[in-house]
Amino acid sequence: MKFLKVFLASVLLTLTFSPAIAQEGTAGVSSNQQGNIVYFSVYNTTESTVCMFPYVISQNNVNGQVVPMIQIGPGETGVNIGAYGQANTDYAWSIQVGAKYRTGTCA
Protein backbone atom coordinates (compact mmCIF):
# COMPACT_ATOMS: atom_id res chain seq x y z
CA MET A 1 0.00 0.00 0.00
CA LYS A 2 2.84 2.38 0.86
CA PHE A 3 4.45 1.67 -2.52
CA LEU A 4 1.21 2.48 -4.31
CA LYS A 5 0.93 5.85 -2.51
CA VAL A 6 4.51 6.77 -3.43
CA PHE A 7 3.96 5.66 -7.03
CA LEU A 8 0.75 7.68 -7.39
CA ALA A 9 2.41 10.73 -5.83
CA SER A 10 5.26 10.42 -8.34
CA VAL A 11 2.84 10.18 -11.26
CA LEU A 12 0.91 13.21 -10.00
CA LEU A 13 4.10 15.28 -9.68
CA THR A 14 5.20 14.22 -13.17
CA LEU A 15 1.87 15.25 -14.67
CA THR A 16 1.93 18.53 -12.74
CA PHE A 17 5.39 19.58 -13.93
CA SER A 18 5.37 18.17 -17.48
CA PRO A 19 3.53 21.12 -19.11
CA ALA A 20 5.93 23.60 -17.49
CA ILE A 21 8.96 21.71 -18.76
CA ALA A 22 7.55 21.49 -22.28
CA GLN A 23 6.92 25.25 -22.40
CA GLU A 24 10.33 26.43 -21.16
CA GLY A 25 11.87 26.98 -24.60
CA THR A 26 15.54 27.37 -25.33
CA ALA A 27 18.14 29.81 -26.53
CA GLY A 28 20.78 29.13 -29.16
CA VAL A 29 22.67 30.08 -32.29
CA SER A 30 21.49 29.99 -35.90
CA SER A 31 23.46 30.59 -39.08
CA ASN A 32 22.88 31.89 -42.58
CA GLN A 33 25.45 31.22 -45.30
CA GLN A 34 25.71 33.60 -48.26
CA GLY A 35 28.48 32.53 -50.63
CA ASN A 36 31.70 32.19 -48.67
CA ILE A 37 30.44 34.12 -45.61
CA VAL A 38 28.43 32.73 -42.70
CA TYR A 39 26.39 35.12 -40.55
CA PHE A 40 25.52 34.05 -37.00
CA SER A 41 22.57 35.18 -34.90
CA VAL A 42 21.04 34.14 -31.59
CA TYR A 43 17.47 33.40 -30.55
CA ASN A 44 15.63 33.08 -27.25
CA THR A 45 12.36 31.16 -27.10
CA THR A 46 12.23 31.18 -23.29
CA GLU A 47 9.96 33.42 -21.26
CA SER A 48 12.93 35.12 -19.56
CA THR A 49 15.80 37.43 -20.44
CA VAL A 50 19.01 35.45 -20.97
CA CYS A 51 22.71 36.27 -21.08
CA MET A 52 24.40 34.36 -23.90
CA PHE A 53 28.08 33.53 -24.37
CA PRO A 54 28.78 32.61 -28.02
CA TYR A 55 31.97 30.67 -28.74
CA VAL A 56 33.72 28.98 -31.66
CA ILE A 57 33.46 25.20 -31.54
CA SER A 58 35.68 24.59 -34.57
CA GLN A 59 37.14 26.63 -37.41
CA ASN A 60 39.23 26.02 -40.49
CA ASN A 61 40.49 28.60 -43.02
CA VAL A 62 38.21 31.45 -41.86
CA ASN A 63 38.49 35.02 -40.61
CA GLY A 64 35.90 36.71 -38.44
CA GLN A 65 34.47 36.89 -34.97
CA VAL A 66 31.38 36.65 -32.80
CA VAL A 67 30.61 38.78 -29.76
CA PRO A 68 31.79 37.29 -26.45
CA MET A 69 28.53 38.07 -24.62
CA ILE A 70 25.03 39.36 -25.43
CA GLN A 71 21.79 39.85 -23.52
CA ILE A 72 18.50 39.08 -25.29
CA GLY A 73 14.92 39.29 -24.14
CA PRO A 74 12.19 36.68 -24.18
CA GLY A 75 11.04 35.75 -27.68
CA GLU A 76 13.82 37.63 -29.48
CA THR A 77 15.18 36.00 -32.63
CA GLY A 78 17.67 36.89 -35.35
CA VAL A 79 19.95 39.03 -33.17
CA ASN A 80 23.23 39.37 -35.10
CA ILE A 81 26.35 38.25 -33.22
CA GLY A 82 28.97 38.23 -36.01
CA ALA A 83 30.23 36.53 -39.14
CA TYR A 84 33.06 34.45 -40.55
CA GLY A 85 34.31 34.33 -44.11
CA GLN A 86 36.54 32.00 -46.06
CA ALA A 87 40.15 33.15 -45.68
CA ASN A 88 41.70 31.47 -48.74
CA THR A 89 39.41 30.43 -51.59
CA ASP A 90 41.92 27.79 -52.71
CA TYR A 91 41.22 25.66 -49.62
CA ALA A 92 38.20 24.12 -47.92
CA TRP A 93 36.74 26.01 -45.01
CA SER A 94 34.42 25.43 -42.08
CA ILE A 95 33.13 27.23 -39.02
CA GLN A 96 30.91 26.07 -36.17
CA VAL A 97 29.65 28.41 -33.43
CA GLY A 98 27.71 27.52 -30.30
CA ALA A 99 26.59 29.38 -27.21
CA LYS A 100 26.03 28.81 -23.53
CA TYR A 101 23.43 30.86 -21.70
CA ARG A 102 22.06 31.61 -18.29
CA THR A 103 18.73 33.08 -17.27
CA GLY A 104 18.94 36.73 -16.22
CA THR A 105 20.78 39.82 -17.32
CA CYS A 106 24.48 40.02 -18.18
CA ALA A 107 25.11 42.70 -15.54
* Contact by Cβ (8 Å): 79, 43: yes
* Res. 56: pLDDT tops 60: yes
pLDDT, one tens digit per residue, over 59-85 is: 999 999 999 999 999 999 999 999 999
For residues 17-24, give the mean pLDDT.
45
Residues 72 and 40: their CA atoms lie apart, in Å, by 15
Q: Residue 28 and residue 76: Cα distance in Å, rounded?
A: 11
Whether 106 contacts 67, CB under 8 Å: no
pLDDT of 14 reads 34
CATH topology of domain 24-103: Immunoglobulin-like (2.60.40)
With residues binned 3-state (H G I as helix, E B as strand, rest as coil), the percentages for the chain, rounded to 5, are 20, 50, 30
With 90 as the cut, is the pLDDT of residue 35 above it?
Answer: yes
Band (pLDDT 50/70/90 cuts) for residue 49 is very high
In the predicted model, is pLDDT for residue 22 greater than 50? Answer: no
Average confidence (pLDDT) over 26-42: 97
